[in-house]
Amino acid sequence: MAEYVWKPDARWIAEANVSRLMAKAGFDVSADDPEATAHSARAFIARTQRDLTWFWDLAVTDMGIAWQRPYERVLDTSGGHAFADWFVGGQTNIALNCVDRHAQGPAANRDALIAETEDGQVRRFSYKELASQVDALAAGLRRLGIAPGDRIACYMPMVAEVVVAMLATQKIGAIFVPIFSGYAPSAVRERLADASVSLVFTADGSYRRGQALPLKTALDEAIDGLACVQHVVVYRRTGEAVGCPMRAGRDHTWEEVAAADSTSVPTAVMPALAPALILYTSGTTGKPKGTIHTHAGCLAQMGKELCYNFDLKSDDVFWWFSDIGWMMGPWEIIGCFMHGATLVVFEGAPNYPEPDRIWRSVQRHGVTTLGISPTAIRLLMRAGDEWIERHPLPSLRMLGSTGEPWDEESYRWYFERVGAERCPVINISGGTDIAGCFLAPLPIVPLKATSLQSPGLGMDVDVFDEDGHSLVGEVGYLVCKQPAPSMTRGLWNNRDKYLETYWSKFPEVWNHGDWAITDQDGDWFLLGRADDTMKIAGRRVGPGEIEAALIAHPSVSEAAAVGVPDDLKGTDVVGFVVLHAGRGETDDLRAELVQAVVKALGKVDRPRAILFVDDLPKTRSAKILRRLVKRAHLGETELGDLASVANPEALDAIRAAR
């Protein structure tokens, strides 16, 4: 079993939010005895998994969620786990909890939002100022006839106005539909049509690596002939740098819609399970799925994770490197503002114009919690240690990650170089479909490298074999045996697909589609998507295990392992490798990499081939798209929806690699 690389000290234990929660629940917490506290914390987690009603009532009360009408019952599963009702009879609103109560209280003049653009411009908004912006835009939406339940999309770069757009939409009871700003018109149209969106927020353009990219013209193409879209609201981001034709009667400037209004806008009273968000899956295979998330579900789950897993305090400055089109965008906005902390949003790339851009911004804004994907860390590692060494980053006290399994070398670089071994890596995993996490470490329990440590509080997760039996020490399906407040309420316009996707493999159990394993200490590790997993000579192996062995070689920057058909083994392995600058693509190096995998995993997992490429196809949130790597390598002409691919040219290199 792996060793623990980080252990909480007495101060961590004494001051942690989760310590307060545990004490309220009658669980022992001792700053003088970290080992006993860790044992007590694991017992507390287990209790929260068994007794959902007890836990969620405890958590939402401790967090101080504001209700327009108190709930009468925490959970009703009479309709089955797939259609569980939460906070029955309750009424609330995300805007009430994230803006209104802070603007009218002691946090009114505290920084709520820091927005940095790629060219380095910074704007700051207090909670009072943010509330004013939200009210003005909400009033404008009402003047345009937007009503509760209407779907409002956002196709914008990650600027301050994105935050205002989401909260104004939810304030009046409409449903916010964020769409990744890098999507092509066809992908945007598919999502707008599926949700029958009536209004779209957009910008004239955005900046990426110094280049002005048009957005409004792409949106015009996407909505040509799409009857449901009645209004487009345009924020001027680039000025004259890109074209921005305006259609009379349909298109409005941001300034026109958000004209100052002398009176505040009443926050809509919403049933606890009224939809607040539709988050679309990336759609790299098949049709994108619109997952539905509610006011109370988002507040409970996102608030819980930032409060107890990330130990968020009101004086923290929180920055998760994300686009509004990914789940982590709404997640950080709602979770951060719920607790009256300061949020950073950022338009650019983490390594532009120089490889230390992200470290400079952390230092500039005094960021205390930074979240980023493993692939993005590998990209920053590639530039060399000298860039991070210029910035000691004393403000950091917590690191976060999500999106994919870690390899140990990259994890340790993040922990040691960025966090100076003093910041725990809160490595979380969940997904768009639960708008939160199934697995999430607590900062009062020791951490092993690459692990996710523990189930999320109130998340009854397990590892199942094919027959639905629990496993320990073996790879199996990550499942959730009871419902959670933030689980999608279905798929928009597709009830049957919802049941098939999540609830059909194991009766009354959510199947998440990931491979996971728990060790004898009770620590959790993820091994990638189940549909990425390879069965080689009758044995399952996750691509992450092979990739970790490849990345451990000092010449390798990134790697993707995929399974290809083999007459003898059933499946064989091909590894695609991106080398560090200056490393030669030699046959000797190929042989070394093959042996590295054999040494780590055994001869049965020996790769058939190691192929060198300059880049791997990724989403803009830096997830490597293994399924596309496999299809391109096998010469398949139908690769599916490529809208989420940030660098589609990498697929040409995959096809050419031999």
Paired tokens of 306: 């930032």
DSSP string, 187-224: HHHHHHHHHT--EEEEESEEEETTEEEESHHHHHHHHT
Give dist(CA 615, CA 263) in Å, integer. Answer: 53
Cite the beta strand spans of 549-592 per DSSP E.
556-566, 570-579
**Which DSSP helix (H) or strand (E) runs through 590?**
helix 587-601
Q: The whole model's pTM is what?
A: 0.88
Q: What phi and psi values does residue 279 have, to the nearest 5 degrees? A: -110, 120
Query: ∠603-605-609 over CA atoms, to 5°?
Result: 105
Region 238-243 average pLDDT: 84
Contact by Cβ (8 Å): 352, 201: no
Contact by Cβ (8 Å): 178, 132: no
3-class state of residue 438 by DSSP: strand
3-class state of residue 12 by DSSP: helix
**Over the stretch 27-82, which tens digit does the pLDDT of each residue have?**
999 999 999 999 999 999 999 999 999 999 999 999 999 999 999 999 999 999 99
Helices 295-304 and 328-338 pack at an angle, to 10 degrees, of 80
Please report the pLDDT score of residue 643 as a whole number. Answer: 67
DSSP string, 507-531: TTBEEEEEEEEE-TTS-EEEEEEGG
**Over the stretch 535-545, which tens digit does the pLDDT of each residue have?**
666 556 778 77
Q: Please give the share of the chain, as a percent, with pLDDT higher than 90.
A: 73
**Over the stretch 607-645, which tens digit does the pLDDT of each residue have?**
989 999 999 988 766 678 888 888 888 888 777 667 667
Going by pLDDT thresholds of 50, 70 and 90, the confidence category of residue 533 is: low
DSSP string, 532-560: G-EEETTEEE-HHHHHHHHHTSTTEEEEE
Give dist(CA 64, CA 59) in Å, integer. Answer: 9
Please report the pLDDT score of residue 577 as a whole number. Answer: 94
Going by pLDDT thresholds of 50, 70 and 90, the confidence category of residue 531 is: low
Going by pLDDT thresholds of 50, 70 and 90, the confidence category of residue 286 is: low
Give dist(CA 345, CA 648) in Å, integer. Answer: 26
Contact by Cβ (8 Å): 231, 250: yes
Average predicted confidence (pLDDT) for the chain: 92
Q: Which of 90-99, 281-290, 360-369, 601-610 has the lowest mean pLDDT?
A: 281-290
| Alpha carbon separation from 656 to 482, 612, 613 (Å, rounded) | 47, 10, 9
Q: Domain 534-656 adopts which CATH fold?
A: GMP Synthetase; Chain A, domain 3 (3.30.300)
Q: Which of 377-386, 524-533, 549-558 has the lowest mean pLDDT?
A: 524-533
Region 569-576 average pLDDT: 84
Q: Which of 16-25, 356-365, 648-657 has the lowest mean pLDDT?
A: 648-657
Helices 160-171 and 328-338 pack at an angle, to 10 degrees, of 70
Give dist(CA 445, CA 463) in Å, integer. Answer: 21
Please report the pLDDT score of residue 538 as a whole number. Answer: 59
Give dist(CA 322, CA 542) in Å, integer. Answer: 26
- In one-letter notation, the amino acid at residue 50 is R
Region 233-241 average pLDDT: 91
Please report the pLDDT score of residue 18 as a whole number. Answer: 98
Q: What phi and psi values does residue 532 have, to the nearest 5 degrees? A: -95, -15
Whether the domain at 107-275 and the domain at 534-656 fall into the same CATH topology: no
**Over the stretch 8-19, which tens digit does the pLDDT of each residue have?**
999 999 999 999
* Residue written as token pair 């040494």: 599
Residue 429 confidence (pLDDT) above 70 = yes
Please report the pLDDT score of residue 267 as a whole number. Answer: 97
How is the chain split into domains, by residue range?
Answer: 107-275, 534-656
Please report the pLDDT score of residue 264 as a whole number. Answer: 76
Q: Domain 107-275 adopts which CATH fold?
A: Rossmann fold (3.40.50)
Q: Which of residues 152 and 647 earns the better pLDDT score?
A: 152
Going by pLDDT thresholds of 50, 70 and 90, the confidence category of residue 284 is: very low
C-alpha count within 13 angstroms, C-beta hemisphere, residue 278: 25
End-to-end CA distance of the chain: 38
Give dist(CA 166, CA 151) in Å, integer. Answer: 11
